[in-house]
Structure 1
Amino acid sequence: MQKITPFLWFDNQAEQAVHFYASVFKNAKVGKVARYGEAGPGPAGSVMVATFEIEGLAFTALNGGPNFKFTPAVSFVIDCKSQAEVDYFWEKLAEGGRTDQCGWLQDRFGLSWQVTPTVLIEMLNDPDPAKSQRVMAAMMQMTKIEIPKLHEAYEAA
């Protein structure tokens, strides 16, 4: 068991979210589901918590009611090895949600994700500050990150 587990608070869509995330990520699985009993506070029989795993990381989803909402102050970064992988996660997670600048999006449940190609981080950490700044400037113009455009900026003289 991992020492720290992300615990995600949903109004009443925890089970939907768990199945959605398990369908998006190829290395994912749904775990246990605990339901509210007669003592509540949720309706008897409704999902209280559901566990799931993505890429070996365990999560817990809670149906806690409308008191708290997700904000972009906390997000999950997806390390993508190719443009095809960026495109896949961007399309799947953005459906029914909203896209933002620099590879950020909020999914249909309001959870924030950063769909980030590995090469972007490598370019931003280049020891040549002119190259990394050109890449940063290019990224700031994007919503979904486009690796060919990053390469153009990186290689520009």
Structure 2
Amino acid sequence: MSRDDDQTWAELIDSFHASPTDGDQPWPAAEELGPDERLDEPRPDDFRDASVTLGPLAGGRGGPGPDPDPAAPAPGIDDATAEEAANHFVPPPPAPIPRGDRVQQLAWAAVITPPIALIIVAIMSWRPSDEIVFLAVVAFVAGFVTLVARMRGHHPNDPDDGAVI
């Protein structure tokens, strides 16, 4: 580091540890609000759905007649803010998890069950027969090979090439 960098760094550290003097305030004067003053900017709760906020319990009309347009901006919100709130992206609900077919379910059972069973047997200090251990290992390997063999590969003609930026 050069001398100027060291001096600048020392000044930054000193100003960080220094407390403000009586006349200085660490924030802009526009942020000084009294207890009864209100901000002109909209708050997040100003963007609630109009159909929820208007009604007999919320102090809305609640009487006969047409309901107000829910797409219309609430009073006190400018057009740009209302349009930004209306164009806010809400993702669609996720697709359900696929259940799989019977072969896939059995393959998963063969991959998960034997290791758990062998761990329980080892914890309980039981001595399983060699045939049981052999069958557990064969089931695990067969299930794993089945799951790998049934994986979908990438095809060159597949139009879905993932996220493209």
Tell me: higher relative CO, structure 1 or 2? Use CA pairs within 8 A at least 6 residues apart. 1
State the TM-score, normalized to the length of structure 2. Answer: 0.22
Which has more radius of gyration? 2
Structure ranking higher in helix proportion? 2
State the TM-score, normalized to the length of structure 1. Answer: 0.23
Structure ranking higher in strand proportion? 1
